[in-house]
Structure 1
Amino acid sequence: MSDYLVHFTKRPALLSILEAGHVDARNQFGWGRNDTSTAHLRMSACLSEVPVDQIERIASRRGHYGIGFRRDFIQGLGGARVWYAEEPQRTILFDTFRPLYRNDRDRTNGLWKLTPFIDDVRPEYDFTWEREWRVPGGVRFALADVQFLILPRGEDKELFRNPAPDVPLLSPQGTEFWRDAWVALGNDQDRDVDRFLREYANPADYLTWDHEEYDYTWPVEGQTSAEAVEDVFDAELDYEAQAELVSRLDGISGGLWLKISAFEEWAADADLGV
């Protein structure tokens, strides 16, 4: 989400957060959760740098209400991205922490302070797409720190304008969110991302993953971020804007994109009903 991070929640919780000026650290997250003596280090508030094309997906999972902050504000509170360790890094972590459990009785080793930001990939659910950030101790904020609120359609906006006047109110629906976000927040790149996602999709949303080939099964040719940006914008963007957009899109999908019209044409020919 570029410069912004969102804490997704439910309606009563968002009202409580605005009243208190604090996103509570109610749960323990991270590596070593069985170590009770360091549990306080892992009590964290969670936010998401969710990819722009996944806003509806994460809202459905975490809650259709949200509060958005600038990324540099969260970093200033000690927040950081979560690292999801896969093999062989997972085994290296086990080997690193095993002697600490036995020998570092006072838990003074600095590695313990990193544990809120480390998790392993679970076979039953891959959390990596959520682009999670964590803030040990929670997020204490002033109203001026709030960049926007996310509210579903039909919500009583006046109810939220009372505790948060002048804060932009955005929808959790993907297209509406990014259309409104770039208008409310003045970010031209969000406008360009919104336009791009009308023509290209993250392959993770359409294609199956081949575990043997360690790649998606591509029925049509994929395009790199640079190729897709050139296709959508032609010569409209200057070199710097194009390079920044490509970099951002690389971070969303890993650098490869599926052209929606080409996939839909293939699906129609294959009679898949997509």
Structure 2
Amino acid sequence: MDGQPIDHILQRRTDLSTFIVHFTRDTSTSARDNILSILTSGQIRANASFGMAAEQLRNTPYEATQRVACFTETPIEHAWAMSTPIAGRNVRLSQYGVAFTKDWARKSGVNPVWYLDITPDHDWLTNPLQQLIDQALEQLNLPFTQPGGLPPVLRLTPFIEQMGTGTRRDGTTYRKEFAWEREWRHNGTFNFSLGNAVAIFAPENDHLALSPTFYPRLGPMLAFLRSWTPIGVSNE
């Protein structure tokens, strides 16, 4: 059959990315120190739990089963949007990050997040799934061995998030719209070698300071990308 290979076509689509990026943020240590720790240790730690079962398992012995390392498949030229302050967004990501090819990440257990719509009257997906979660939580009272004995749906929930805007029955409003982040996740701490990374994101004025740390090990094979901000967009 005539035609171009699908890989060649996808490489020309600017709305798609062949990379995923993990951006750091300030915690008890600075975002810069955090990216240095990640790159030297070869680990992106899964410190927080996310997904549809995260809240119900918070502060339980099973919370760790929902902890993930987070990435975005936002195209490189739009990566600036991830570190721009956004009203109503609790997480402030920095301009420091590390990128991997999507193909390699997939082989390493990184998977796209599945977003379920919770806009009013769009409960045909979330309600059945919540029922499965509730049934699984009842099973947690029984002995089980991780990960094989973990109820199957709880192995999926770290990769499932809700999205939607509406008004609750009590009259309060809600807005949970993060599908634009195009998030990918790895359940548990993500391990890699520096040779698996294809680029490091950092503010341009920090490239010279960071280069001596990593260039002697990989040289030009590892690119430093500027975490730029488009004209007219504030990064303060």
TM-score (structure 2 length as normaliser): 0.67
- Pick one of 80, 84, 94 that aligns with 2:130: 94
Aligned residues of 2:51 and 2:160 also touching (Cα < 8 A): yes
Is residue 140 of structure 1 aligned with residue 191 of structure 2?
Answer: yes
- Corresponding residue of 2:93: 62
Match of 1:42 among 63, 66, 84: 66
- Tell me how far apart the structure 1 counterparts of residues 68 and 196 of structure 2 sit (CA, whole Å): 19
1:170 maps to what in 2? 225
Return the TM-score normalized by structure 1.
Answer: 0.58
SS in 1 for 2:214: coil
Q: What does residue 8 of structure 1 align with?
A: 23
1:1-274 pair list within 5 angstroms: 1-9=16-24, 10-33=31-54, 34-35=56-57, 36-51=60-75, 54-60=78-84, 61-86=92-117, 87-88=122-123, 89-103=125-139, 105=142, 106=144, 108-121=150-163, 123-164=174-215, 165-166=218-219, 167-173=222-228
| Aligned-partner Cα distance in 2 for 1:115–1:21 | 26
Q: 1:159 Cα shift?
A: 2.3
CA distance in 1, matches of 2:109, 2:53: 19
**Contact 2:132 2:153 survives alignment (8 Å):** no
2:46 & 2:227 partners in 1: Cα distance? 23
Question: Which protein is richer in helix relative to its size?
Answer: 1
User: For residues 160 and 53 of structure 1, do their structure 2 counterparts lie closer, same or farther at Cα, with a shift above 3 Å needed?
Assistant: closer
Q: Which runs of 5+ in 1 are unaligned?
A: 176-274
CA shift in 2, pair 1:14/1:132, >3 Å? same
> Per-residue deviation at 1:157?
2.6
Code of the residue aligned with 2:223 in structure 1: it is P
- Structure 1 103/17 Cα, relative in aligned 2: closer, same or farther at 3 Å? closer
SS in 1 for 2:205: coil
How many residues are aligned here?
A: 176
Identity %: 27
Contact 1:15 1:160 in 2 (8 A): no
Measure the CA separation in 2 of the matches of 1:160 and 1:145: 17
Letter aligned with residue 131 of structure 2: D
Structure 2's unaligned 5+ residue stretches are 1-15, 25-30, 85-91, 165-173, 231-236
Between stretches 32-41 and 5-14, larger displacement belongs to: 32-41
Indicate if the aligned counterparts of 2:201 and 2:224 stay in contact, CA closer than 8 A: yes
Q: Secondary structure at the match of 1:85?
A: strand
Paired residue secondary structure (1:124): strand
Residue identity opposite 2:153 in structure 1: L
